[in-house]
Structure 1
């Protein structure tokens, strides 16, 4: 049916499919915030900053890939390292940078839950740009699939990190504050890298393991949201 539509309608439908899951995710996390709702201006800022860092992160990933790939003795080593250091670290590091430089120091960042909210917004800014490119280039089927996988996964990676950011915001000890931020970044990089590693194996059974991984991350983040809304500063227990 898509082939019978004009190119303009194809583009509009692709854009709708690419952006709808992002809107749903944002609405969900906004709804989960039981405290003071965030100002639209700050939410927009975190989201737009997330879009803006997409291009430089993409350039950095290409550079790191070219730099690292030919310096490792075995291809298998590269394939294991790439999801964590070349993809997950720059992307989650960029999302962290967005939160720290767009909302973290604002007086309206006044609850632990705010860390989750703004981190998710930054991730959705990043994800919507990426999803539009994938959907326009590879078709609506890819956009639909990513709506159930990559989009929620991005929110979960960054949402888990955001809980640490929220706790760090209200940590009076500067060393502990920085430690919490680092731990949040490490958690996001680990889950993001593991997610990509499973996909990069091209082994069907392993690729399907992203679904229990998404479920596990959702469980962790749900408990973190409950703690955040209750004002409890307690790091997630992963095992």
Structure 2
């Protein structure tokens, strides 16, 4: 794409081509148009957040409206426990950012947006889950709906706020915020699974049943890290796109394709693997094959994520040392996305 119109190039900045081949806010109408554009962008962003908030509250109400009040603390404790493995991965990714520590308020905002955007994903997925059934339909659901929708909304949770902050000044920051958005998404998802499971427990046997059926917490604890790993990959490529504007679109799409593939394949293979093991060995608890599968599958892609972050970290340290030896400073260029 040409940087300037042919007329502007011929004029060589010697003529005023305002509203002919160039433009800047000069008149009252120009300034009004600029303000309306900015207000419109702000309205779309925060309107999206408001819609996500209302959807999330609606989903929580629909899921927990029949839940006994005394169950709420139990859900809270089990949800926190289930999120700990995912949190551990986030802490590692956060510590891998050698450029600068990310502001706590921006990290917290990204986490909250990750929670809220789960409601949008649920709204989009619901109609398809009612239509697509059977083994083939379930696999199509994973690859065409669940994976793309959930990874897209998690990336939107990063793009909506953290991406536009001055603190987002390195490619690796995308992985950090992507991981945090994944943690938020996993946390609310775990809460819903645990809450729905506890809602089926009779009141008089609550304590005994919670103890006996803690497998739901363990299952969610094993599943949670996946969301962090998927969105950390997508977030990394969002960061890469930020500093490679000419190819930003394809780079973001590449990151999403990677995240969607890992996510959908995890859902598909875990279902097939657990189903096969259970059919062959009916007496084996479901949690055991699930643990083995998660350890191998997420362990592999977690290692690939580690390699990617470690390569960035080692190169940064190497170039920083070379810069110090040359007596120059290491700075990060700003982009048009900082506006």
**TM-score normalised to the size of structure 1?**
0.82
List runs of 5+ in structure 2 lacking aligned partners: 1-69, 198-212, 279-288, 318-339
Displacement, 1:182? 0.1
Displacement, 1:119? 0.4
Q: Deviations 1:158-195 (Å, cap 9, x if unpaired)? A: 1111221121111031xx11111000000000000000
Using a 3 Å threshold, how does the CA distance of structure 1 residues 221 and 160 change in structure 2: closer, same or farther?
same
* Pairing 1:221–2:221 present: no
Aligned to 2:215: 141
Paired residues of 2:125 and 2:146 also in contact (CA < 8 A): yes
Displacement, 1:25? 3.0
Displacement, 1:8? 6.2
* Pairing 1:108–2:152 present: no
Equivalent residues in 2 for 1:13-162, closer than 5 Å: 13-67=77-131, 69=132, 75-138=134-197, 139-147=213-221, 149-162=222-235
Displacement, 1:51? 0.5
Could you say which structure has the larger radius of gyration?
Answer: 2
User: Partners of 2:71 and 2:136 in 1: how far apart?
Assistant: 43
User: Partners of 2:149 and 2:135 in 1: how far apart?
Assistant: 21
User: Partners of 2:152 and 2:72 in 1: how far apart?
Assistant: 36
User: Partners of 1:102 and 1:196 in 2: how far apart?
Assistant: 29
Q: Please, what is the CA RMSD of the aligned residues? A: 2.3
Q: Deviations 1:66-94 (Å, cap 9, x if unpaired)? A: 35x27xxxx44312211111211110010
Equivalent residues in 2 for 1:164-175, closer than 5 Å: 164-173=237-246
**TM-score normalised to the size of structure 2?**
0.59
Paired residues of 1:160 and 1:224 also in contact (CA < 8 A): no
Displacement, 1:53? 0.7
Structure of higher RCO (CA pairs closer than 8 Å, 6+ residues apart): 1
Using a 3 Å threshold, how does the CA distance of structure 1 residues 39 and 141 change in structure 2: closer, same or farther?
same
Paired residues of 2:236 and 2:255 also in contact (CA < 8 A): yes
**Equivalenced residues, count:** 219
